[in-house]
């Protein structure tokens, strides 16, 4: 299921002519050794990682809708502004790059620094239990942490193992072409580092 990224197109850090990117258009090049997708929407130009963080789908072949891009393989959706994975099945964001216009040329600068200004959930909640340890429950737990929820967080499951990539079970994994390491959505240490208590109701 994973795609291999080979760099193609111009080195965007050296600049391209503004005229190469039409309004509504997109272009693939590279910067900092990574494939980069440039998208022009009106007066804005976005530069993001061109490879889907799910299984490496080519985002340049996906659909741009407003300020989002949808992966053509399994339809994960990413924000062009922040790189955030807005819709399943991707969990990780794509990189965002700074873009600068100098005269009639566009340059892709370095990667944007992640802003650690997580919004603290102001609901007063101090404990959350999510029932269901599948992709949906897992994504909810991750998002709560990313959005700044710092209280107790429990993921209650009827499964014997932490959340897994179920679609892979009946495809590459069953065919023997996906290693077992690909099956968990996150490694066990992730739950500890994010302070997510994964509990199996079977225990
Ligand atoms: C083999 C397989 C292949 C698939 N292939 C594809 C595919 O190719 N494309 C695609 O789009 N979708 C595919 N799917 C479907 C996809 O995996 C599901 O849509 C997705 O897993 C749904 O996620 P979920 O979190 O909503 O539910 P689930 O993954 O079903 O998770 C439900 C969770 O709730 C827990 N639970 C249930 N009852 C209780 C209880 N009483 N107390 C506590 N916890 C409980 C379960 O243990 C489980 O952890 C596949 C599914 C399977 C099984
Ligand atoms: S590879 Fe992009 S959604 Fe799966």
Q: Kindly give the distance from the C-alpha atom of residue 163 to the centroid of ligand 1, in angstroms, as a whole number.
A: 9
Say if residue 85's pLDDT is above 90. Answer: yes
| Cβ pair 48, 31 in contact under 8 A | no
Atom 29 of ligand 1 has which residue's CA nearest to it? 134
User: What residues contact 168, with CB distance under 8 A and at least 6 apart?
Assistant: 1, 178, 182, 183
pLDDT at 113: 81
Q: Which amino acids bring their CB within 6 angstroms of ligand 1?
A: 131-137, 156-159, 166-167, 169-170, 201
How confident is the model at residue 130, as a pLDDT? 98
Burial label for 116, CB within 10 Å (0-12, 13-18, 19+), is: exposed
Tokens 């291999």, located at residue? 4
pLDDT higher than threshold 70 for residue 53: yes
Number of neighbours of residue 115 by Cβ within 10 angstroms? 7
Name the nearest CA neighbour of 120 among 150, 91, 76.
150
Q: Is the pTM of this model over 0.85?
A: yes
CA of 122 to the centre of ligand 1 (A): 31
pLDDT at 116 over 80: no
What value does the mean pLDDT of the chain take?
91
């Amino acid at each position: 299921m994973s795609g291999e990224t080979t760099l193609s197109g111009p080195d965007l850090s050296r600049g391209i002519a503004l005229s190469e990117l039409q309004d509504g258009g997109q272009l693939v090049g590279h910067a900092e050794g990574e494939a980069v997708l440039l998208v022009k929407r009106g007066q804005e130009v976005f530069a993001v990682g061109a490879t889907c963080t799910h299984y490496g789908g080519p985002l340049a072949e996906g659909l741009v809708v407003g300020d989002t891009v949808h992966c053509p393989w399994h339809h994960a959706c990413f924000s062009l502004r922040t790189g955030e994975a807005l819709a399943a099945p991707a969990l990780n964001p794509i990189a965002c790059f700074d873009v600068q216009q100098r005269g009639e040329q566009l340059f892709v600068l370095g990667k944007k620094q992640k802003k650690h200004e997580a919004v603290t959930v102001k609901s007063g909640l101090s404990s959350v239990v999510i029932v269901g340890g599948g992709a949906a429950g897992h994504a909810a737990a991750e998002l709560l942490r990313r959005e700044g929820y710092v209280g107790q967080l429990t993921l209650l499951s009827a499964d014997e193992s932490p959340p897994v990539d179920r679609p892979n079970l009946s495809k590459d994994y069953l065919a023997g072409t996906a290693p077992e390491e690909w099956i968990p959505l996150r490694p066990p240490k992730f739950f500890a580092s994010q302070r997510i208590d994964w509990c199996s109701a079977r225990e």
